[in-house]
């Protein structure tokens, strides 16, 4: 069983808390502090973004964080190094756009991810139809490719995705890009039920989760909750690293309490 498989196995009683931060945001150094805060706040898994110049699945908040990291010269190698420093403490999953993998070389990237102790790769612009080869390349190295399903996915496509999924399935809560939203879609439970019908792979929900209440609501139907844009805007607004880290830790602790309830 893969590292992520074991993680979800262990945590069946509570939905997993899966915070996201763009690697190297707001700086390489500060990002490390934030990852410490993730751990102190009770994160079960870390999702780390590889900054990309054209992140077309991301809303303005994540886009701006990636741009800031790129402007500071952050590379995929830097993010892999950061991952390697944390992967012995918590499972780390990278969010990486396909062109970064393609330019690196599929095998070389899978190799480097495995060497950094990365458990899984989320590739938002690599739908299952294009992913076959990369899934095999990664699986041979013990790395899961985390596939995404969307509310627009047909039953047939959910089946295709389930057939190739491992680790967990990333369920996109709404049709759209990343970004905090005031309310969750009321169709989320139906959507998750449709996916659940077709797979035993754990389901994590992301895109738009921004409050402890929303996280709790998601947790009633899913095995994991991904929180990204909300955390990045907290970091952006805090200005200073220490303040940001404290705010993030407090927020994640609150979310975790809701998840345990």
Partner 1 sequence: MSIPARFGPYGGRYVPETVIPALDELAAAYERLRDDPVFRSQLKALLKNFVGRPTPLYLAERLSSRLGGPRIYLKREDLCHTGAHKINNTVGQLLLAVEMGKTRVIAETGAGQHGVATATAAALFGIPCAIYMGEKDIDRQELNVVRMKLLGAEVIPVSSGSRTLKDAMNDAIRDWVTNVENTYYVIGSVAGPAPYPAIVRELQSVIGREALAQIQEAEGRLPTELIACVGGGSNAMGLFAPFLEKEYIRLTGVEAGGEGLDTGRHGASIERGERGVLHGSLSYVLQDAYGQILEAHSISAGLDYPGVGPEHSFLHDEGRVRYDSVTDAEALAAFTMLSGTEGIIPALESAHAIAYLARHIDRFTHEDLIIVNLSGRGDKDVYQAARMLELL
Which C-beta is closer to partner 1: that of 79 or that of 245?
A: 79
We find the least distance from the C-beta atom of residue 63 to partner 1, in angstroms, to be: 6
Which C-beta is closer to partner 1: that of 131 or that of 247?
A: 131
Residues 137-196 that bind partner 1 (CB under 8 A): 147-154, 157, 161, 172, 175-177
Which C-beta is closer to partner 1: that of 10 or that of 152?
A: 152
Q: C-alpha distances in angstroms, 65 versus 5, 121, 136, 230?
A: 30, 19, 31, 12
**What is the dihedral sign for C-alpha 131, 139, 114, 14?**
positive
We find the least distance from the C-beta atom of residue 243 to partner 1, in angstroms, to be: 27
> Catalytic residue at 58?
yes
**What CA–CA distance (Å, rounded) separates 11 from 135?**
25
Q: Of 2, 75, 81, 253, which lies in the binding site for partner 1, with binding defined by CB under 8 A?
A: 75
> Catalytic residue at 47?
yes
We find the least distance from the C-beta atom of residue 259 to partner 1, in angstroms, to be: 26
Classify each residue of 158-196 as buried b or exposed e, where b means 16 or more C-beta atoms within 10 Å of its C-beta: bebbbebbbbbbbbbbbeebbbbbeebbeebeebbebbb
- Residue tagged active-site, from 9, 40, 44, 47: 47
- Residue tagged active-site, from 9, 36, 58, 197: 58
We find the least distance from the C-beta atom of residue 103 to partner 1, in angstroms, to be: 3
**What CA–CA distance (Å, rounded) separates 84 from 114?**
9
Per CB under 8 A, 213 contacts partner 1: no
Count of beta carbons in the 10 Å neighbourhood of residue 261: 9
Size of the site for partner 1 (CB under 8 A): 41
We find the least distance from the C-beta atom of residue 181 to partner 1, in angstroms, to be: 11
Which C-beta is closer to partner 1: that of 43 or that of 83?
A: 83
Q: Of 23, 42, 124, 206, which lies in the binding site for partner 1, with binding defined by CB under 8 A?
A: 124
Which active-site residues does the annotation give? 47, 58
- Interface residues with partner 1 (CB under 8 A) are 52-54, 56-57, 59-60, 63, 67, 70, 75-76, 97-104, 124-130, 147-154, 157, 161, 172, 175-177
């Amino acid at each position: 069983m893969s590292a992520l498989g074991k993680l979800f196995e262990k945590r069946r009683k509570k939905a997993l808390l899966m915070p996201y931060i763009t690697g190297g945001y707001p700086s390489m150094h500060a990002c490390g502090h934030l990852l410490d805060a993730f751990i102190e706040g009770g994160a079960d898994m870390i999702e780390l973004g590889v900054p990309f110049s054209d992140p077309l699945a991301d809303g303005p908040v994540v886009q701006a964080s990636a741009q800031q990291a790129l402007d500071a010269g952050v590379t995929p190698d830097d993010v892999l190094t950061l991952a390697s420093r944390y992967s012995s403490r918590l499972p780390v999953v990278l969010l990486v756009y396909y062109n970064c993998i393609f330019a690196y070389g599929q095998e070389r990237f899978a190799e480097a991810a495995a060497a950094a102790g990365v458990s899984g790769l989320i590739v938002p612009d690599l739908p299952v139809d294009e992913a076959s080869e990369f899934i095999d390349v990664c699986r041979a190295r013990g790395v899961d490719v985390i596939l995404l399903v969307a509310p627009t996915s047909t039953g047939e496509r959910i089946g295709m995705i389930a057939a190739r999924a491992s680790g967990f399935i990333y369920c996109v809560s709404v049709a759209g890009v990343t970004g905090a939203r005031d309310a969750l879609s009321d169709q989320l439970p139906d959507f998750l039920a449709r996916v659940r019908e077709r797979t035993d792979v754990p389901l994590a929900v992301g895109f738009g989760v921004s409050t402890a209440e929303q996280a709790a609501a998601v947790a009633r139907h899913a095995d994991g909750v991904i929180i990204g844009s909300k955390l990045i805007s907290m970091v952006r607004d805090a200005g200073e690293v220490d303040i940001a880290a404290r705010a993030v830790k407090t927020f994640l602790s609150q979310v975790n309490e809701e998840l345990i309830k």
